[in-house]
Amino acid sequence: MIRRLYRIYRPHLGWLLLGTLLALITLLANVGLLALSGWFITSMAVAGVAGASINYFTPAAIIRGLAMARTAGRYGERVITHEATFRLIADLRVWFYRGVEPLAPAALSRYRSGELLNHLQKDIDRLDAVYLRIAMPILVALISILLFTLFVASYDPYLAMLHLGFLLTAGLFLPLWVDRLARRSGREQVRLTGELRTRAVDTIQGMAELVACEADQRQASLFQRGNSDLLRQQDRVHSIQSLAESAQGLLAHLALWCILLIGIPLLRGTLLSPPDLAMLALFTLASFEAVVPLPAALGLLGETGEAARRLFRIVDTPPAVSEPAHPRLPPEQGDIRFQDVSLDYGEGRPALNGIDLELPAGSRTVLLGASGSGKTSIVNLLMRFWDPVAGNIRFGGIDLREFNSEHWRSRVTLVSQHTQLVSGTLRDNLRLAAPDASESELLAACRQAQILEFVESLPAGLDTWLGETGSKVSGGQARRIAIARALLKPGPLLLLDEPSEGLDRHTEQQLLSSLEPLMAGRTVLLITHRPLPLSGIDQTLTLEQGRLLTAQAS
């Protein structure tokens, strides 16, 4: 897992190392400032009592330099580490999306939308702690502990060993104890947070059904119970971390007292001077700043490790459609032929069984069938969301499995009953099909889809915000936007999956009229549960329980 995260982080290694270096400089400057200030004040006091002269310019200049280095280092560390973290989060989201996109929709059908949303947001956000709150504090602590030990050893090896023992106790053994106590609760937090997010999304999406069935109160009780469980786990983790912070403070002051108890007798000889002892005492107290973040860092290992495992588990899921080693390019035109095609979703019965179907190039075919008859499975196969478990589908005499799925889908235009609009402007939604489309091309597509009058009535035209998933437009307007978008995407095959579902007769007729320019020159497959008044139909087919009945000429 660590190796895989490193490969993702490696492009930003320079930013990560620079942020770590600035954090180390800030820590050393802060410890050095306190220690040198103690030495300087004590030296001035001793010189004043003895009436001796002392060079105070050099120590004063170093103290000012350390103060400026601490301020600049702290500012630079915040800027660099936040920049590095934002870059990492952006890359992690892109990496996760690229890993998930080939799995849709077949391999992702086992996950609910709220569950995927939780992975994309919360789990990836947790992974920013790997660098900022785990890796960097541990690396800075290891380097600084080594430097601190060498510094104290230059005065007395026994004091150095004592100092190192307290630092290791506070920075290693105490965090390991915290990790052991908090790991289970951390994993439970990840699981419960994911369940709550998923349940929240499901509740919002199904609120109408819950209210109609009078199940909204029961759903609210389940949500409240899950929230209480999450708060209980969070309280446990916070209690453990608070106890660790108190223990660290106790160890720091015990280390200070031990340094003083051992160092005071050394003043009688020539091993230590009073300014040196004051410096070592304050240095010991300040050095614990290096290990303060470690209990929290190791306490995060449980939840960040669980978040990483969940993400890797999804990304490592094998896709339902395997890509060819040497893909062929789809021809410009060709007949589509199903030869003894069967499809099984693993539900105990085949969704399609022995389908033989031919769609001649440029023809228009209507596929009738009740819900559950297998109509959507035909679309899934033609879009290569699934591959058949038996038989083959050919385009221009070439098996679809010999095409790269992305190349093939670029040749297929789908207008579904479930219109997918993104949260953005009308222009953004249209350009999903043609990112480089010009203003005139967008307006021409709207004109053909018979929605130009609506677009011109909008206050901002193509730049009008459509709201979350197109919430600011009606169902009929959303369908026409989808048709305009489809007009911008060239391709020999057009799939119309229940395009008039849920529309009244008048709106349906207007929609079918707007489909005419979209169907021109393409092979059209219209999937519907009832006959539609559409002209130019070449054949009408009927699906029943996954089997194709005899074709009927139109």
Instruction: Find the CATH number of the domain harbouring 31.
Output: 1.20.1560.10
Q: Is the pLDDT of residue 554 over 80?
A: no
**HEC string for 372-386:** CCCHHHHHHHHCCCC
At 431 the three-state DSSP class reads coil
Residue 400 pLDDT level (bands cut at 50, 70, 90): very high
pLDDT value at residue 322? 83
Q: Is the pLDDT of residue 553 over 70?
A: no
For residues 481 and 452, what is the distance between their CA atoms, to the nearest angstrom?
10
pLDDT digits (tens, 9 = 90+) for 295-317: 878 777 777 887 888 888 888 88
Q: Are residues 485 and 514 in the same domain?
A: yes
Q: By the 8 A CB rule, do 426 and 458 touch? A: yes
Residue 194 falls inside a structural domain: no
Mean pLDDT to the nearest integer, 536-540: 85
User: Which of 265, 282, 315 is at the close of a domain?
Assistant: 315
Strands 539-544 and 390-395 come out as unpaired
User: Which of 315, 346, 365 is at the close of a domain?
Assistant: 315
Q: Which residues contact 521 (CB under 8 A, 6 or more apart)?
A: 362
Number of domains in the chain: 2
CB atoms within 10 A of CB 264: 12
Residue 165 falls inside a structural domain: yes
Structural domain containing residue 515: 336-553
Q: Are residues 348 and 298 in the same domain?
A: no
pLDDT value at residue 25? 95
User: Which of 315, 348, 382 is at the close of a domain?
Assistant: 315
Ranked by mean pLDDT, the top range of 214-228, 263-277, 430-444, 493-507 is: 430-444
Mean pLDDT, the chain, whole residue set: 84
Q: Are residues 341 and 292 in the same domain?
A: no
Residue 217 falls inside a structural domain: no
- CATH for 441: 3.40.50.300
For residues 218 and 224, what is the distance between their CA atoms, to the nearest angstrom?
10
Range with the poorest average pLDDT among 179-183, 341-345, 536-540: 179-183
CA angle 405, 408, 412 (to 5 degrees): 125
Burial letters for 162-185: b for 16+ Cβ neighbours within 10 Å, e otherwise? Answer: bbbebbebbbbebbebbbebbbeb
For residues 470 and 462, what is the distance between their CA atoms, to the nearest angstrom?
14
DSSP 112: -
Ranked by mean pLDDT, the top range of 133-137, 302-306, 496-500 is: 133-137
Q: Is the pLDDT of residue 19 over 90?
A: yes
Q: Are residues 71 and 127 in the same domain?
A: yes
Mean pLDDT to the nearest integer, 212-237: 82
Residue 493 Cα distances to 333, 402, 520, angstroms: 9, 17, 11
pLDDT value at residue 114? 63
Residue 453 pLDDT level (bands cut at 50, 70, 90): confident
Residue 1 pLDDT level (bands cut at 50, 70, 90): low
At 354 the three-state DSSP class reads strand
